[in-house]
Amino acid sequence: VRRLRDVGEHAWLATLPRRLPRGSLAAGIVVGAGDDAAVVRARPGRLLLTTDALIEGVHFRSGWSSPRALGRRAFAVNASDIAAMGGRPRWALLAAEVPPATPVRELDAILAGFAAAARRDGARVVGGNLAAGRHLALTAALVGEARGRVVTRAGARAGDGVWVTGALGACGLAVRRLIAGRGGRLPDPPSRVRAGERLATVASAMIDVSDGLAQDLGHLCRASGVGAVVDLARLPVAPACRRALGAAAPRFALAAGEDYELLVTVPRARERALVRLAPRLGCRLTRIGRITRAPRRVALIDGTDPRRSRARAGFDHFR
Among 136, 143, 253, 291, binds a copy of itself (CB under 8 A): 143
**Contact assessment for residue 216 and residue 286, using Cβ atoms and an 8 Å cutoff:** no
Stretch that binds a copy of itself, among 109-117, 163-171, 227-235, 311-319 (CB under 8 A): 311-319
Number of residues in contact with a copy of itself under rule CB under 8 A: 67
26 binds a copy of itself (CB under 8 A): no
Comparison of 71 and 250: residue with beta carbon closer to a copy of itself: 71
76 binds a copy of itself (CB under 8 A): no
What's the min distance (Å) between Cβ of 226 and a copy of itself? 16
161 binds a copy of itself (CB under 8 A): no
2 binds a copy of itself (CB under 8 A): no
**Contact assessment for residue 184 and residue 165, using Cβ atoms and an 8 Å cutoff:** no
- The string of DSSP codes covering 42-65 is PPSSEEEEEEEEEEBTTTB-TTSS
150 binds a copy of itself (CB under 8 A): yes
Q: How far apart are CA 146 and CA 103, in angstroms?
A: 38
- x/- mask, a copy of itself, residues 177-216, rule CB under 8 A, reads -----------------------------xxx------x-
**Contact assessment for residue 232 and residue 303, using Cβ atoms and an 8 Å cutoff:** yes
Comparison of 47 and 233: residue with beta carbon closer to a copy of itself: 47
Residues 209-248 that bind a copy of itself (CB under 8 A): 215, 219, 223
Interaxial angle between packed helices 67-83 and 104-120, expressed in degrees from 0 to 180 and rounded to the nearest 10: 30
Among 69, 72, 73, 81, binds a copy of itself (CB under 8 A): 81
Q: How far apart are CA 249 and CA 284, in angstroms?
A: 18
**Contact assessment for residue 291 and residue 175, using Cβ atoms and an 8 Å cutoff:** no
Stretch that binds a copy of itself, among 32-40, 238-246, 249-257, 304-312 (CB under 8 A): 32-40
Q: Which of 292, 299, 207, 300 is nearest to 257 (CA)?
A: 207
Stretch that binds a copy of itself, among 53-61, 173-181, 184-192, 243-251 (CB under 8 A): 53-61
**130 vs 3, 4, 17, 136, CA distance in Å?**
14, 11, 14, 11
Q: Which of 214, 216, 189 is nearest to 205 (CA)?
A: 216
**Contact assessment for residue 313 and residue 227, using Cβ atoms and an 8 Å cutoff:** yes
**Contact assessment for residue 103 and residue 3, using Cβ atoms and an 8 Å cutoff:** yes
Taking the alpha carbons of 109, 99, 138, 317 in that order, is the dihedral positive or negative?
positive
**Contact assessment for residue 309 and residue 187, using Cβ atoms and an 8 Å cutoff:** no
Comparison of 17 and 239: residue with beta carbon closer to a copy of itself: 17
31 binds a copy of itself (CB under 8 A): yes
What's the min distance (Å) between Cβ of 166 and a copy of itself? 17
132 binds a copy of itself (CB under 8 A): yes
134 binds a copy of itself (CB under 8 A): yes
Which residues are within 8 A (CB) of 251 and not within 5 positions of it... i.e. 6 or more apart? Answer: 232, 302
Binding positions for a copy of itself, rule: CB under 8 A: 8, 10, 30-31, 34-42, 44-53, 55, 57-59, 80-82, 84-85, 87, 91, 93-95, 97, 126-129, 131-135, 137, 139, 141-144, 146, 150, 152-154, 206-208, 215, 219, 223, 314-316
